[in-house]
Structure 1
């Protein structure tokens, strides 16, 4: 079991019986948390001032200059500037706005400080986001969740889980969105026992499981190989979206239940939920396993109609499925028509031809596939990309 960052939870897990019994006794109950949590009120502007429209049309430096001269501004002006910082992903602009917020006293506003945490996180500077968070004299659950999701979006999953532990230590009650964020972080880190313990808390206190929590729990149990639990959670999600369906389909396919994954895909279509690129790559993986050429062709047609054919992972998956189904002409046509390629694209073609060489009972045909694999490898070697260990492994399999 991975070393957990929070001693309170680690001790609880070690003491618990297998399963979820007593799995969340150290989490605060909703009643106690609600009594100790004070949601700070802060002034917000629901209707932006008339001058905001013209204000936003100015160059950022000009707008900031006007802001410095005008002390009669409200939070909507800062919000507009901070939103522009997110669009530009500009650290320097965000720091300029923060400096003026401190000068004018607006840094005391929970809403704007939380917004600033979000800005720095979206710009990829979680260290700055943490400094703003730590300097806040007042925080609410949105402040905590903003920093937590900021860590998660920047792949700093351990920091996200540690922050969740800090949140619990002060008796703050997490929201459903907070739970979704920390469960996703647990899945990425492999903290499966920790995630199951949080699930135990959700069950114990009958917290309504919304779509974000359901999706996160589905992913958690999928990673632990428990497809049945993932499916049970999926069935309980009230408003299933494309992420819900893709997660459960991937859960089945990744855990060796390709036919279940395909059945779920059919159910998804019947529910009128449109698949995305991640859905299609998962379904194509299932087609590779059971060699379902008919469905693979249908998915290829669907990707063309919906514009997903230009998505490189989808195209790679279609091409590899054709190779696995021994449809060389379709695979080569797709390969030759691709405007952009990744190393995965090249490796798929090399490995596909190498596998067909091994499977062929005709010596001449086997030799032809081997030669084609070598030609593709030489083209790769002359390209801007260089072969990796997988490329070498495929070529070595030809010569043995």
Structure 2
């Protein structure tokens, strides 16, 4: 080659190298600022044949990904004659950065097929996609790459894997990866703390934070504190304050993200004054921060302050977003302010957010809760072009809460028809509608859908299914759902216990305590209240007292639901002083508190105290509800206060705008019937705005029996039998009426007719609890191991009565009534001076009532019998019922003919 050619070659090479350096500088500068102008060097690079320079083309690929989108970058990638791990990783990173997570995984597969070996940056990008997609299987495959390539000590990759396993719900695996890391840095410590917060393991997250700063001596950063403040929202204010102090101690700069986390923490702890102090510490504000403040005010129901904060936010030039308006609308729903809701609706319209899923859903919820017109909520729903599953769920739940359960079923079907799949909240909402209407077919259909979509793994859905089956009385099916649930919580057992209480299955409800302990599920105040209610239902003082002790030890004794249940328990067990003491511990009693107190007093025969409590309740500013009036009418009926009872019945509608229901009319009939005003009682039945049921006729028939009115009794019995031919109580009461009226032949034929129809008197049962063991006494059953000793005790008591000259008629056929057996057993087995507590499933008969009254004249013991109608407290020859309105005959009645079973 000539000297001239060599010179020209050197000159050209130098010029090309100089141009390449210029291109690199341009690309580097544009990459740092994401300037699309840098792409102009692509053409000369191609013309000069510099495509083979990987460093240059990789920089160009990065700029395309930043400025022209993934498709343009992929086009360049496909045209590159040479690619290395940086090229593949750059393209992969572009997919992840732009949210194309599935494409990134496919691209990674192509990379492996091409024979290119990934580096730690490649694997980190893929792990991020797996985390965001919840792709656990693919993620574990990447984990094997990390191990094979020897990247395990890499803290950056370790943090990515911790995030993956945490997002997939495998917190223990995430913790193991962290423990296997040689030495954690701030990023990895923050990652494990974040994973524990995400898994709602708040205390464990704080434990790691303590190890981080004291054991590992790793300095936290602002992201560490952001996650910890999220944990303290659930753990309580004291933890949040301690973290705030640590923040100051470490000299952390209060940036906007950190300030928002602190404001959110104080807001959720309902310490808005502290939240505002933090808000004003720096001049930086954004829509997220203001929304946290507004949300805090709305959660505390300080709606006026929330409105003021919204106004201040707008004055500062920050435009509210969909979450801001959603928080305001939730406040309107909470305080049922339709007018304010309409004003916020106008602002939503001005902002063009009526079609937004979040704001639109909140509008639907607000109208359904605040407006009497269901069409308002439906109109807001129809304004949303493509309602999300959240919006559909708001509509379905709103219809169910308004009592339009069939409409909620219809819209659930419509939602699926338009292609929107229900989520766990949707299933929970529609199952609540199933529980309300007790629809087996709908429950089974939705259960089938849950199984198909594998939504049953969500604990909220499982709990709703348990409640739906339990509401139908299908206890076995409810248990089947519980046993199939991966996780169970206090709500699982609280719901089932509540339903068992409603069904009267109190023993099953109390058995759940052992099951909860086996599952290592701690009682909360709601489950404890349900178990106390079950104890009250059984009049089980021993179990109730143990639960009371537990409530104090567990720090649950101050909750109003627990205290209300304690008032109810002690009231139903005849412990008036304990009931008053529990009531006095309630700092702010609600209507339920007052009702429990009145109920206990009324059912124990303390009529004047019950009515005084009713007056005190009204003086305290409480408006009685329909249950209060049931209790007051019961008290008046059993106290013989007819005129006062009629006055209260009239005041329901006239003074309190409460429409009397069928139960109230049953109480009215009982009130009039006991007083002998049978014609008035019959007129009340004939003129009430409801179709009579069997219970109301049973109540009137009992009154006819008391006052020996055969003609009205026969008519009442006939009407009751037409409504419920399978109820033997009408035959028993009518036969007793004939007996009392001196017509034994008619009594005999009535009992014969009952036998011909295959009807039998319900078997009476008595039970009592001694040393945590329940002893059961069935009528005619001699299976109790100490039955002979018990019979001897009954005989000795009767002998003692006769010896003392008491006027007591011993009916041969009732010598061993179960009430007597239970009382005798109590005298034999309970400590001296201890009260004897007996429960009975039907009303105590008059002969046994007389027997126990006389026994307490010479046996210095308090005997408490709770029957199917009320509480009888026998002491020193007297009963708390005072014998008022006693409808019993020498025959043991087998049906509760009064409306109220306290």
Give the TM-score taking structure 1 as reference length.
Answer: 0.72
- Three-state SS of the structure 1 residue aligned to 2:741 is helix
Residue 692 of structure 2 is aligned to residue 341 of structure 1? yes
Aligned to 2:547: 198
* Aligned mates of 2:475, 2:198 — CA distance in 1: 24
Aligned to 1:392: 735
* Aligned mates of 1:346, 1:102 — CA distance in 2: 46
1:250 Cα offset (Å): 2.0
1:331-384: CA deviation from partner (whole Å, max 9, x where unpaired): 45434424533455445545546656xxxxxxxxxxxxx6xx222123224432
* Aligned mates of 2:658, 2:565 — CA distance in 1: 25
Residue 520 of structure 2 is aligned to residue 175 of structure 1? no
Counting only pairs closer than 5 Å after superposition, residues 43-58 of structure 1 correspond to structure 2 as 50-52=387-389, 53=391
8 Å CA contact retained: 2:467, 2:495: yes
8 Å CA contact retained: 1:218, 1:248: yes
Counting only pairs closer than 5 Å after superposition, residues 101-250 of structure 1 correspond to structure 2 as 101-250=450-599
Larger CA deviation: 268-277 vs 329-338: 329-338
1:221-263: CA deviation from partner (whole Å, max 9, x where unpaired): 1222211111111122233233322221121122221111111
Aligned to 2:769: none
Size of the aligned set, in residue pairs, is 342
Larger CA deviation: 253-262 vs 273-282: 273-282
* Aligned mates of 1:286, 1:167 — CA distance in 2: 38
Distance 1:169 1:391, change over 3 A: same
1:54 Cα offset (Å): 5.8
8 Å CA contact retained: 2:704, 2:713: no
Distance 1:281 1:390, change over 3 A: farther
8 Å CA contact retained: 1:253, 1:261: yes
Larger CA deviation: 158-167 vs 344-353: 344-353
* Aligned mates of 2:502, 2:447 — CA distance in 1: 22
Aligned to 1:281: 630
1:152-180: CA deviation from partner (whole Å, max 9, x where unpaired): 34433322211211212444321000101
Aligned to 1:292: 641
* Aligned mates of 1:192, 1:182 — CA distance in 2: 12
* Aligned mates of 1:348, 1:216 — CA distance in 2: 29
Aligned to 1:254: 603
* Aligned mates of 2:464, 2:434 — CA distance in 1: 11
8 Å CA contact retained: 1:284, 1:321: yes
Larger CA deviation: 153-162 vs 196-205: 153-162
Aligned to 1:11: none
Higher RCO (CA-CA < 8 Å; seq separation 6+): 1
1:324 Cα offset (Å): 4.5
8 Å CA contact retained: 2:536, 2:544: yes
8 Å CA contact retained: 1:350, 1:391: yes
* Aligned mates of 2:590, 2:738 — CA distance in 1: 42
Distance 1:394 1:212, change over 3 A: farther
1:198-224: CA deviation from partner (whole Å, max 9, x where unpaired): 111222344343222122212221222
* Aligned mates of 1:285, 1:310 — CA distance in 2: 14
Residue 662 of structure 2 is aligned to residue 312 of structure 1? yes
Which residues of structure 2 form unaligned runs of 5+?
Answer: 1-196, 202-325, 327-357, 362-385, 397-407, 744-902
1:321 to 648, 671, 689: 671
8 Å CA contact retained: 2:700, 2:716: no
8 Å CA contact retained: 1:347, 1:391: no
1:10-67: CA deviation from partner (whole Å, max 9, x where unpaired): xxxxxxxxxxxxxxxxxxxxxxxxxxxx99659xxx9569333568575655544666
Distance 1:388 1:237, change over 3 A: farther
* Aligned mates of 2:415, 2:716 — CA distance in 1: 51
1:182 Cα offset (Å): 1.0
Give the TM-score taking structure 2 as reference length.
Answer: 0.34
8 Å CA contact retained: 2:500, 2:508: yes
* Aligned mates of 1:326, 1:78 — CA distance in 2: 53
* Aligned mates of 2:701, 2:503 — CA distance in 1: 34
- Three-state SS of the structure 2 residue aligned to 1:388 is helix
Distance 1:39 1:90, change over 3 A: farther
Aligned to 2:713: 377
* Aligned mates of 1:182, 1:250 — CA distance in 2: 19
Aligned to 1:26: none
Distance 1:206 1:266, change over 3 A: same
1:127 Cα offset (Å): 2.3
* Aligned mates of 1:311, 1:65 — CA distance in 2: 40
- Three-state SS of the structure 1 residue aligned to 2:446 is helix
* Aligned mates of 1:182, 1:307 — CA distance in 2: 34
8 Å CA contact retained: 1:300, 1:309: no
8 Å CA contact retained: 2:636, 2:645: yes
* Aligned mates of 1:101, 1:353 — CA distance in 2: 54
Distance 1:297 1:83, change over 3 A: closer
Distance 1:395 1:344, change over 3 A: farther
User: Cα RMSD over matched residues?
Assistant: 3.5
8 Å CA contact retained: 2:500, 2:506: yes
8 Å CA contact retained: 1:225, 1:255: yes
1:137 Cα offset (Å): 1.9
- Three-state SS of the structure 1 residue aligned to 2:592 is helix
* Aligned mates of 1:184, 1:197 — CA distance in 2: 13
8 Å CA contact retained: 2:669, 2:681: yes
* Aligned mates of 2:484, 2:693 — CA distance in 1: 44
8 Å CA contact retained: 1:187, 1:219: yes
8 Å CA contact retained: 1:148, 1:164: no
Distance 1:396 1:269, change over 3 A: farther
8 Å CA contact retained: 2:427, 2:461: yes
